[in-house]
Structure 1
Amino acid sequence: MSEFRLMPRLDNHGVRRLISLPDLLRTGSISERMEAAGTSVSYASSGGSRADAADLKVLQEQSVALAKRFGFPNEGRAAGRASFDAEFAQWLVEAPIISGGEALRDDVWAFVACCIAPEVVLWRFEDGHADRFHGGLRNTFQRLWLRARSLDRGAGAPQRWQLVEALSEDAVVQIVERPSIGGDPMLARAIAEAWLATANRIGARRMEDVTRRAVRRIRIDNEITCLASLGEPELVSRLQGFFDEAAL
C-alpha cells in the first residue's frame, strides 16, 4: 500500500450498527460488513488514491496470520495476547499499511476494527466492549499503533522495540494514553526508559504503584516546566529522579 493510499473511514453510527451484528463481525467478509455499514463508510475527498479491495484483504490476512501465532481463534492466554500486542504494534510501524495522516484518524481505526479484522478484536478482548471497536485510545489496533509510535527507539537503534516489549500494560496506559505525555514521543520514550531502568533495579512486580506515583509527579512538573524543552541528559536525570523517589 502506498504512502498516499486513502483508507475507508467508519463513523460512530456505523460502528454501533456493526457491533449489533456479532455474527457478521465473526464470520462475514469485508465487503459484507461494508455493505451493512452503508453510508457510514466514507473516504477523504482528495489527497491520494483509495485503498482497493486487494489492499484491504492484505491487511486482513496479515492481521489474522499474526494473531494465529498467539492462539487465534480459539486459544491464547493473557501472556500470549500481550505478546500479540507487542508484535502487532511493531508490525504496524515496520510495514506501514496505514500511514501518514490516515493513521491519525479515529474513524480509520474504527473501520479496521469493525470491517477488516473484527474477529481478531473479539479474540483479543473476549468481552467485545464497544470501546475496542470505536476509534480512540482504547481501539484494539489504534492503541497499538500509538504505543509503537511513542516507544520506538528508531530504525537504527539496537533493541529497537525493547520498550514496547518490556513495559507492562499498566505502564503503557499511564504513559502512552495520557495526552500530555503520550502526545510527545520524545517525552514518552524518556519516561519509558526510566521505567525500564527502575524495573530492572527493583523488579517489574513492584512497578505498578511506583509508575502511578512517578507519572503523577511528572505530569505536575510538566505543567510548570516544559519537560520536552530540556536537553536529553537533564530530561533523563529528572525523570529517573521521579521514579527513584516513587520507588522509595
Structure 2
Amino acid sequence: MKILVPVKRVIDYNVKPRVKADGTGVDLANVKMSMNPFDEIAVEEAIRIKEAGKAEEIVAVSVGPAKAQDTLRTALAMGADRAILIETDAEVEPLAVAKILKAIVAEENPGLVILGKQAIDDDSNQTGQMLAALLGRPQGTFASKVDIDGDHVAVTREVDGGLETVKLSLPAIVTTDLRLNEPRYASLPNIMKAKKKPLDVKTAADYGVDIAPRLKTLKVSEPPVRSAGVKVADVDALVAKLKELGVA
C-alpha cells in the first residue's frame, strides 16, 4: 500500500505572529517557518504504518512557494520516500488544495491519505473533508488512533463526548489530532540522505486545477488587549463590583 501525506509550510508554532501595519495579513518577513504540527503527526503515523509492514511507500506532497521544499525535505528526513511540490506563490484556499490532491491521488493511487486536521495559520479544518467528498472515499477525522487491518482501517476519533471508533474501507482519508503520536526528530544522517531522495516540482496547471481565490480577506487585526483585573477587599465588595459591571 502507498500512503500520501500532504504537509504545509506555516509559521513555527513557537513564534508569535505579527499583523502587518496595513492590516492586510500576517507579516512573514524574517519569521521562522516549519511544518504544520498536525502534518508532522501525519508523517509520523505514516512512517509507523510502514515500519509495521502495512505500507511500502510514503509520498509527501505540499502546495506552496519554492521554500516549501525545506518542509518536504523534513518529511523525507523523518522517513518519507519521495516528495512532490506544487509550486505557487499565491495563497491557495482549502478547496483548491483538495482539488490538487484529488488529481495527485488519481495519479499516485494511494491506499491511504493521512493529513493534519487543520493548519495552524488559517485553522480552516476543511481540506481533508473536501478531499474525501471530491474522491467519494470514506473519512476518519480527528484521529487519536489508527489501526489498519487488511482492507479496512479503524480510526478512533476525538469527539465532544469522548472517543468514537469508525471502521473505514480502504482507500480512505484520515486527518490527525494531537494525541495520535509524538513525531520523531530527524537525525543528521537522515537529513543528509533526504537531500538525495526524489522531489518533483510541478504546478497546479499541470493538474488542470484553477487556484484563483474565491474568498477575499477584508482585514486582519490583533485580538483586543485583555484589561487588568481589580482586587476587592471581601465578598460584599466583589458582589457590588459584579453588579456595577452588569454581570451579576
TM-score category of the 2 structures, normalised to the smaller one: under 0.3
> Per residue, is there more helix in 1 or in 2?
1
Q: Which has the larger radius of gyration?
A: 2
Question: TM-score if structure 2 supplies the norm length?
Answer: 0.27
> Per residue, is there more strand in 1 or in 2?
2
